[in-house]
């Protein structure tokens, strides 16, 4: 059962994702009182999905969230490729032009991840600025406040509540390119 502040926070994050219609999956979590051991998966050595079928069977509903997250304070991973993808960009590019980014942004261990609509083949064919990469189908990103390590949690740099829709991947790529070009001069 849930009984700690972190437990409620990750349950709330999973609940909010389900209400937004975002595909998620539960992940391992660090046992803070046992020297950094990861719980939820017998051989876990870090943040990883719990289910071997995580990509094929994401969690979509509040009922599924309740069934999983009332067991333990599992991490919350956004499953990319089901209507939401992401772009990872260097922190320096993000810091230079924060206000120009168009959608929700997750801060994760020195990286910035912008949530986008699905990437199409045209975007894949266009080269990205150095240090950037698409995170698409059969991939995941941690949603805040999921712990990435026993000491570091993902955090919202720009929360989804500020954006009514997830931005188009092409617009995100254009914005990141423009930001990168302005910081590299």
In the predicted structure, residue 86 carries a pLDDT above the cut 60: yes
User: Token match 């188009």: residue?
Assistant: 168
Mean pLDDT of 84-99: 76
Q: What is the pTM of this model?
A: 0.89
**List of E strands, 4-110:** 24-27, 29-31, 37-39, 75-80, 85-90, 105-108
For residues 103-115, give the mean pLDDT: 85
Is pLDDT of 4 > 70?
A: no
3 state DSSP class of 109: coil
pLDDT score for 96: 58
Q: How far is CA 39 from the centre of its chain?
A: 20
Q: Note whether 11 and 2 are within 8 A (CB).
A: yes
The Cα–Cα gap between 65 and 47 comes to 18
What secondary structure letter does DSSP report for 178?
H
pLDDT at res. 97? 61
pLDDT at position 149 is 85
Q: Give 3's pLDDT tier (boundaries 50, 70, 90).
A: very low
- Residue, of 44 and 123, whose pLDDT is higher: 44
Predicted confidence at residue 77, as pLDDT, reads: 97
Residues 6+ apart with CB under 8 A from 12: none
**Which tens digits make up the pLDDT trace of 110-140?**
788 888 888 877 777 788 888 889 999 899 9
CB-based contact 132:113 (threshold 8 Å): no
Per-residue pLDDT at 60 exceeds 50? yes
**Gap between the Cα atoms of 135 and 112, Å rounded:** 12
Backbone conformation region of residue 128, classed left if phi is above 0, alpha if psi is from -120 to 50, else beta = beta
């Amino acid at each position: 059962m849930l009984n700690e502040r972190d437990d409620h926070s990750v349950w709330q994050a999973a609940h909010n994702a389900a209400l937004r219609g975002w595909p998620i999956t539960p992940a391992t979590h660090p046992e803070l009182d046992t020297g950094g051991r990861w719980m939820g998966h017998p051989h876990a050595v870090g943040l990883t999905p719990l289910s071997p079928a995580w990509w094929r069977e994401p969690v979509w509903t509040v009922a599924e969230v309740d069934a999983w997250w009332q067991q333990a304070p599992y991490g919350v991973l956004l499953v990319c490729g089901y209507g939401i993808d992401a772009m990872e960009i260097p922190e320096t590019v993000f810091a230079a032009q924060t206000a120009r980014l168009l959608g929700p942004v997750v801060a994760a261990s020195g990286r910035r991840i912008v949530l986008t609509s699905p990437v199409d083949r045209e975007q894949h064919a266009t080269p990205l600025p150095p240090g950037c990469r698409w995170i698409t189908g059969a991939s995941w990103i941690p949603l805040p406040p999921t712990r990435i390590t026993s000491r570091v949690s993902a955090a919202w740099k720009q929360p989804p509540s500020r954006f009514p829709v997830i931005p188009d991947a092409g617009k995100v790529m254009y914005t990141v390119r423009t930001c990168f070009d302005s910081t590299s001069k």
